Amino acid sequence: MNPTLSDLEAKATRKKAAFGGDAHIVCDNLVRIYKTEGVEVVALQGLDLLIDKGELVAIVGASGSGKSTLLNVLSGLDVPTAGVARVAGMDLLSMSARDRLRYRRSIVGFIWQQTARNLLPYLTARENVELPMKLAGGGRARRRRADELLELLGVASCADRRTPEMSGGQQQRVAIAVALANSPQVVLADEPTGELDSETSEQVFDALRTANRELGVTVVIVTHDPLVAEQVDRTVGIRDGRTSSETLRREDAEGRIIAEEYAVLDRVGRLQLPRDFMNALDMERRVRLELESDHIGVWPAREESTDD
Ligand SMILES: Nc1ncnc2c1ncn2[C@@H]1O[C@H](COP(=O)(O)OP(=O)(O)OP(=O)(O)O)[C@@H](O)[C@H]1O
C-alpha cells in the first residue's frame, strides 16, 4: 500500500541518524583543492559517498572527474582539504602519522593500474605476497597464507615465477593477493584492468569478486571502462568532483539482470536531472514540483502568458 501524505509528513519530522551511520566508507562533503603555481584546481567539490561493509563498488567517470584523487584520499596517500573521510571507523583527516602507517599497512590494500608498480620483479609471486606480511612483523604462517591466497585467486601455478614469467592478467591477480596479504578490511583498485585486453580483464575482475565474496573484504574499483562497471552490484558515477549517478543491478524473478540508473540526491535535497531528460521537455531555469503519495512530479515551468 502506498503511504498517505500524513504518513510522509510524520516520517519527515522524525530525527535523522548522523550521515553515514555505520557505513564502512564515509565521504561527507569532501573537498580537495590542488594549488600549483598560484592556480587552484578543485578536484573534489563536496563529494558524498557511502559504502557498506562487504560491498563491491565500481567508481566511473570521465578523465579528470576526480576518481584518482578520491582513491588517493581513501588509501591514506593524500589528505583532503576539507570534509569528512572515514574508513573502517578511522578518520583520514585527523589521523596521526603512526596511525596512517598502520592504516596503510593493515586496514587497506591497494592495486595500481601499472602491473610493474604492484610487484617487485626480482621476487617470485609467493615472495611478493609474503613481503607485506614480513614488513608487518607476520610470523611463520606467511608462506601458507601466501599459497592459500594464490590458490584462491587462481594463480597457484605462478607461485615460483617472477614477474617477467607471468602474463599481465596473472600479475594483476598476484597483485590482488599482495593487497590481501595482511587481511585488510578494504581493497582499493585504480584501473586494475586498464592495461589488459577484455578477456584477461574478466579474469582479474573475477578474482576481485572472489576476494569480495570469500573473504568479505569491501572492494572499490575505479575505472573509466563502462563494461567493467557492468559486473558489479553498484556503480557510482562521478562528475566534476561530485557523485552524480548510481546504477544498481538486481536479478528479477526470471533470473534476468536488471540495471537501474538513479540520480544522486545530496543531503540538502539537490539532484542533477539528466541533460537529455531536460532537453526532451525543454526544461530550463525552473521546474514545477508536486508531491504525490509515492513520488514527486517534475514539470516544465508554465508558459508565461504573452497576452497584454
Ligand atoms: N597533483 C595535482 N596537482 C594539480 N592538479 C591535479 C593534481 N592531481 C589531479 N589534479 C587535477 O584534479 C582533477 C581531477 O584529477 P583526477 O586525477 O582525480 O581525475 P581522474 O578522474 O582520476 O582522471 P583519469 O581518469 O584521467 O585518471 C583534474 O583536473 C586534474 O588535472
C-alpha cell at 259: 540495471
CA distance 228 to 192: 10
Classify residue 46: in a domain, yes or no: yes
Domain with residue 164: its CATH number is: 3.40.50.300
- Range 24-32 average pLDDT: 93
Residue among 37, 65, 72, 78 to mutate when testing ligand 1 (max atoms within 8 A of CB):
65
196 has pLDDT over 90: no
Q: What is the mean pLDDT of the chain?
A: 87
> What pLDDT sits at residue 14?
61
Ligand 1 neighbourhood includes 64 CB (under 6 angstroms): yes
Query: Is residue 44 a part of any domain in this protein?
Result: yes
Residue 8 has pLDDT above 80, yes or no: no
Residue that wins the pLDDT comparison between 299 and 140: 299
ipTM of predicted assembly, 2 dp: 0.95
Total domain count, the chain: 1
Residue 177 falls in which region: left (phi positive, over 0), alpha (psi -120 to 50) or beta? alpha
Locate the ligand 1 atom nearest the alpha carbon of residue 241 and give its number.
14
Tell me: the pLDDT tens digits for 89-136? 999 999 999 999 889 988 999 998 887 888 999 999 999 999 999 988
Residue 172 included in any domain: yes
Residue 50 lies in a domain: yes
Where in the sequence is the domain holding 180, given as residue range(s)? 21-237
Residue 66, ligand 1, Cβ within 6 A:
yes
All 3 cell numbers of residue 121?
Answer: 620483479
Distance separating alpha carbons of residues 66 and 41, to the nearest angstrom: 11
H/E segment holding residue 204: helix 198-215
Distance from Cα 26 to the centre of ligand 1, integer Å: 21
Give the pTM: 0.85
At residue 292, does pLDDT exceed 90? Answer: yes
Determine if ligand 1 sits within 6 Å of the CB of residue 67: yes
Q: Whose CA is nearest to atom 7 of ligand 1?
A: 34
Q: Does a structural domain hold residue 269? A: no
pLDDT band at 258 (very low <50, low <70, confident <90, very high): confident
- Confirm whether 14 is domain-assigned: no
* Ligand 1 contacts CB of residue 237 (under 6 A): no
pLDDT at 308 over 60: no
Ligand 1 centroid – CA 29 distance (Å) = 18
Question: Dmax of the chain from CA atoms?
Answer: 90
Query: Of 76, 75, 84, 77, which Cα lies nearest the Cα of 44?
Result: 84
Beta strand pairing call for 257-263 and 56-60? unpaired
pLDDT of residue 17: 53
Task: Give me the pLDDT at residue 88, please.
Answer: 93
* Ligand 1 mutation pick, 69, 71, 239, 244, max ligand atoms within 8 A of CB: 69
Residue pair 188/75 in contact (Cβ under 8 Å)? The answer is yes
- Asked if residue 289 belongs to a domain, the reply is no
* Residue 3 pLDDT > 90: no
Does residue 172 surpass a pLDDT of 80?
A: yes
Question: Which pLDDT value is given to residue 137?
Answer: 79
53 falls within a domain: yes
Cα 179 to Cα 204: distance, rounded to the nearest angstrom: 13
Cell of 58: 565500481
